[in-house]
Amino acid sequence: MAGAVGALSGVALGSGPVQADAPVPRRSEGRRGTQEWRAVPAPGSTPAAQLRRIAAAGPGLAWAVGEENQTVSSPARALAMVWNGSTWSKSDLSSMDYTGHLSDVAGVCSTAAWSVGLPSGTASPLLRWDGTTWREASFPGRGEPGVRLESVAVGPDRRVWICGTRGGAARLLLGDGRRWRWLDPLPVASANLYRIVLRTPDEVWVSGDEAWGGGWRGLVARWNGSWTVLPPIAGARLGIGDLHAAAVDDVWAVGTEAGVGGPPGRPGNPALAHWDGTAWTRVQPGFTLGSLTGIAGDAQGRAAWISGWNHQDQSRSTYLRRDGAGWTVVRGPEGGATAPYLNDVTAVPGTAGFWSAGMTSPAPYPPTEAYTERLDA
């Protein structure tokens, strides 16, 4: 990030400091933690490949996106996969004149799914699923230098919410596939938005980071016709990659704190925080080196699962499971991948199941491949 943080001109919720760390979650290494999640093959990608985000419309339809063919000497190609209820298959994106990666995907049915990506040049794409494959869609600002589409959410009314950047400011793009409009800029200078989630048809939440003290700190805000910016989440180069808002006073945020100093290649620290309507509480996630990447709610709308990566034990995937008022560390299946890295987790509507997605190792270099796991009810 570059530049200094400007004054918050939106409404700020509370002004209290970040509270002391909550107790460390319990660890779970028993049968429940190791048997429920199972690896599901996601064949067809060209190493190095990874899936960055995953979304499900139901048990018989899901999408996952990322990139493939990542090498030192050539740019990555966009990667998209679709689940038909029994297998993953790779979607053909060869008709698109695009290099880069797809950063997010969302959908509620076969005719209301969308994906966005980050360019290797200046064209940030917006893709629409036509029931068979992905097609590029037009939107105001398409092809403009500096226009970036970072994350997408689709509501039950099929309206599409996108967070990104236009005109040098973080903002939202709202549309229905035919008509689009950019909403008021986020009133935070030097902000980056990484995730948008829908709580109600007219209320969305975003997460990311903002410049602060020569580094950056965690950013969470709400839009329901105007912006409400929560107090920043303090941390040493902290970015919030995902969040779950069960209510305006019950928000969980996850991310990675890069820290200051240390040897080259040092992993960051997983970050977990809870907003109670007054202040943020930092919660110890149960391991100290790695990251927390995604968070998903259950059928009742409560935060339920967090995907992560534990640098100190990479033999299996790592999750946090909601356990009453706290969280429990849960390990994924043995043998699914040598050292799996998860980027995201999502619920499967109409069931008590979940999907997660990522890559077969933490380094996006060959022979790393796309990877998914599933938790059946």
- Read off φ and ψ for residue 320, nearest 5 degrees: -115, 130
Global pTM reads: 0.91
- Given a cut of 70, whether residue 9 has pLDDT beyond it is no
Residue 374: which region, alpha, beta or left (left: phi > 0; alpha: psi -120 to 50)? beta
Find where tokens 């919030």 sit: 240
Rounded CA-CA distance 222/105 in Å is 20
Q: What is the pLDDT of residue 259?
A: 84
Bridge partners (DSSP) listed for residue 55: 63
- Given a cut of 80, whether residue 234 has pLDDT beyond it is yes
- Read off φ and ψ for residue 48, nearest 5 degrees: -80, 140
Rounded CA-CA distance 240/169 in Å is 18
Lowest mean pLDDT among 6-10, 138-142, 206-210, 299-303: 6-10
- Given a cut of 60, whether residue 18 has pLDDT beyond it is no
Q: What is the pLDDT of residue 120?
A: 64
Q: What is the pLDDT of residue 32?
A: 43
To the nearest whole percent, how much of the chain has pLDDT over 70? 89
Q: What is the pLDDT of residue 252?
A: 98
Rounded CA-CA distance 182/139 in Å is 10
- Among the listed residues 222, 246, 347, 219, the one whose alpha carbon sits nearest the alpha carbon of residue 303: 246
- Among the listed residues 134, 137, 145, the one whose alpha carbon sits nearest the alpha carbon of residue 167: 145
Q: What is the pLDDT of residue 260?
A: 74
Contact status, residue 103 vs residue 143, Cβ threshold 8 Å: no
- Given a cut of 80, whether residue 49 has pLDDT beyond it is yes
Cβ partners under 8 Å of residue 310, min gap 6: 287, 289, 290, 318
pLDDT in tens, 287-315: 999 999 999 999 999 999 999 999 999 99
Q: What is the pLDDT of residue 255?
A: 98
Strands of the sheet containing 370-375, edge to edge, are 37-40, 370-375, 354-359, 341-347
To the nearest whole percent, how much of the chain has pLDDT over 90? 76
- Given a cut of 80, whether residue 34 has pLDDT beyond it is no
Q: What is the pLDDT of residue 121?
A: 67
- Given a cut of 50, whether residue 21 has pLDDT beyond it is no
Rounded CA-CA distance 191/211 in Å is 7
Higher pLDDT, 315 or 98: 315
Lowest mean pLDDT among 12-16, 106-110, 155-159: 12-16
Q: What is the pLDDT of residue 104?
A: 98
- Average pLDDT of the chain, as a whole number: 89
- Show the domains of the chain with their CATH numbers: 11-375 (2.130.10.10)
Confidence of residue 352 (pLDDT cuts 50, 70, 90): very high
